[in-house]
Amino acid sequence: MTMDSTLVPTESTEAAGRYPLDPLTGAEIETAAAIVTESNYATPTLKFVMIQLAEPAKSAALSFAGEAAVPRQAFVTMYDGAAKLIYEAVVDLDARVIDSWTPIPGRFPSYLVEHMTGVEEKVREDPRWQEAMRKRGVTDFSLAMIDPWPAGYYGAQDQYENSPLICRPLTFMRAAPSENGYARPVEGLIVTFDLDHMEVIDIEDHGAVPLPSKGGNYSGQFMFTPDNRPAFTQFRDDVKPIDITQPHGPSFTVDGWNVTWQKWSLRVGFNPREGLVLHEVTYTDRGEVRPIMYRAALSEMVVPYGDSSPTHWNKNVFDMGEVGMGFSANPLTLGCDCLGEIYYFDGTVNDSSGNAVTIPNAICMHEEDYGISWKHTDFRTGEVEVRRSRRLVISMICTVGNYEYGFFWYFYNDASIEMEVKLTGVLTTGAVPDGETPRWGKMVAPGMYGPNHQHFFNFRMDMSIDGPGNSVYEVDSIPEPDPERNPHHNAWITRDTLVASESEGARDWEYSTGRYWKVVNPSKLNEFGAPVGYKLMPKDIVPVMVQEGSVIYDRARFVQHNLWVTRYDPKELFAAGDYMYQCAEAQGLPQYVSDDAPLTDTDIVLWYTVGAHHVVCPEDWPVMPCHYTGFKLKPVGFFDGNPALDVPPSPPAACHHH
């Protein structure tokens, strides 16, 4: 863990023993790998996919503070390409033994680290690929950018019994070593690549389309080809600096992975698949520590493309489950990705040999002013009361090929929580012949278009509103149904519908009723006799364009509903299942709800899907301005009044004017 130079990190967990939910250290990752490698289970072809904390069973107290020492265990996923088998192991790091070893037949793993870097070199060497490139006038193969797109699913030939572990790389051409290669997509050329043997299986060439001629550079430091003008010739000279200063330091405190800020307390975590994870989120109300969420993390994401052309129709990447958001996390930069008094957490992942790899500054934490929290002017007395809103920001930014995804958890001093996803980066592009207009996308530059596509992100939130016994209600606003009570035709009420069991747990948002959902604790009543709760407030709902009968429909069934509610099961972590690579069947949430578990006054998990509907435009090129989507959790009857009343006034010295 590292911080801005004005702050000093603590490493108390290293010296005094680790908390049971702390991520594995690099030493623990390598210990787990060594225990497996030295065991009778090891083979010469066994490779490590992910090594992460095997989280201990949830405590009845929703916290491990003050409890007896919990054994440190690693959850290890491995892939043996020769046997075509995934293995899962739980390794006791203290006893140096393997507690369990489980083969997972009929499934493929997510990418190994070398898959992201080794495919490009092998494709370049293939004579069939070279011949296809010569047909397009390309002879300098060193300038080719070859992105190892996950296989998607083409049909029965991709089933486990008939196929190796494959990917389908797409090719782009730089005009010069420093050029944006996505400006010159190689249309119609599809490679099928065997990741088990790291060799090209097949080349499909659906006909050459001229490479787009216009450059797509977005930095003044990049070279420009002679026949193209840069997007700009100089940076704006009228942008004055904005400095964020906290002369007395930040308001948060950090002890290892535990964070306290104002009345909030939580634990930060990190692993190769999910990346940023939050645990034990609580709020202190008049001296009482009140739990809100036990665990929260991205559960899965998918990017289905709506283009029927040969190069694009099966682009349906599960960036988390097929690649890994932790593996994709950026080392963040002070003043660019994060601004102000920053605390950084390093992320530690593994390579396929079991070596630890550190991603410095993978998680950024800082405070932000967020405008007015509340204000009122008494016009009779002239008295004015106003308070500033502030939020704690905990974020991670991931690069997966051409796109960047930023995941930002916000904690506000009015006790609300927000998740915001920021999408930026470079469009994946396609080429069209001169004079043609794409049917399934929009032009962004001469000869080049961006296909229609969507992004869906599912977040798993293990709720614990004032304890583990919770219920979920769907809340609709409707006109007063009793005509005698609505003589002026203006009255309306809210109607609560209990989500009683998992068969009813797949829910859809309704615009006409302003629908939201609330999680309540029926055993904890507020001063009005109503159960305390938090409500989930939807934001930016998008239509789902994934159609039944498509090859992505079953693989991404979680996108078909905005909200899923399940009863807690520690084995149910991922909305599309544990291993969805190259698999066509429905997994994850459709299976989780199939036992129709009761959902009343029990341990509740919310799975909420947010989306981004992307019909591209020229302004998205050559690099896309941030698009924002997300949701909010807000207290509803959880407190007896406005929880931000005790926020102190801002001193006049904090203001400046001319």
Q: What is the 3-state secondary structure (H, E, C) of 128-172?
A: HHHHHHHCCCCCCHHHEEEECCECCCCCHHHCHHHCCCEECCEEE
Q: Could you read off the pLDDT of 75-122 as tens digits, one per residue?
A: 999 999 999 999 999 999 999 999 999 999 989 999 998 887 889 999
pLDDT for res 156: 65
Residue 365 clears pLDDT 50, i.e. is over it: yes
Residue 621 lies in a domain: yes
Residue 336 clears pLDDT 90, i.e. is over it: no
Residue 253 is which amino acid?
T
Residue 391 lies in a domain: yes
Q: Could you read off the pLDDT of 4-60 as tens digits, one per residue?
A: 433 333 333 343 468 999 999 999 999 999 999 999 999 999 999 999 999 999 999
The band of 229, judged by pLDDT with boundaries at 50, 70 and 90, is low
Distance separating alpha carbons of residues 16 and 10, to the nearest angstrom: 11
pLDDT for res 118: 86
Residues sharing a CB contact under 8 Å with residue 602, sequence separation 6 or more, in sequence order: 468, 469, 470, 471, 567, 568
Q: Distance from CA of residue 376 to its chain's centroid?
A: 38
Residue 16 lies in a domain: no
Tell me the Cα Rg of the chain: 26
pLDDT for res 307: 96
Residue 43 lies in a domain: yes
pLDDT for res 12: 33
Residue 162 clears pLDDT 70, i.e. is over it: no
pLDDT for res 539: 92
Number of domains in the chain: 2
Domain end point (choices 50, 75, 104): 104
Q: Could you read off the pLDDT of 398-415 as tens digits, one per residue?
A: 999 999 999 999 999 999
Residue 343 clears pLDDT 80, i.e. is over it: yes
Q: Could you read off the pLDDT of 509-518 as tens digits, one per residue?
A: 999 999 999 9
Distance separating alpha carbons of residues 529 and 417, to the nearest angstrom: 25
Residue 243 lies in a domain: no
Active site residues: 319, 403
Q: What is the CATH number of the domain that holds 611?
A: 2.70.98.20
| Domain containing residue 388 | 255-305+316-427+452-468+501-509+534-545+563-578+598-636
Average pLDDT value for the chain: 92
| Tokens of residue 573, six digits | 């972590």
Q: What is the CATH number of the domain that holds 51?
A: 3.10.450.40
pTM to 2 decimal places: 0.95
Domain end point (choices 104, 123, 152): 104
Distance separating alpha carbons of residues 463 and 638, to the nearest angstrom: 14
Domain end point (choices 38, 73, 104): 104
H, E, C per residue of 366-395: EEEEEEEEEEEECCCCCCEEEEEEEEEEEE
Count the Cβ atoms, other than its own, within 10 Å of residue 157: 10
Residue 343 lies in a domain: yes
Residue 197 lies in a domain: no
Residue 135 lies in a domain: no
Residue 326 clears pLDDT 60, i.e. is over it: yes
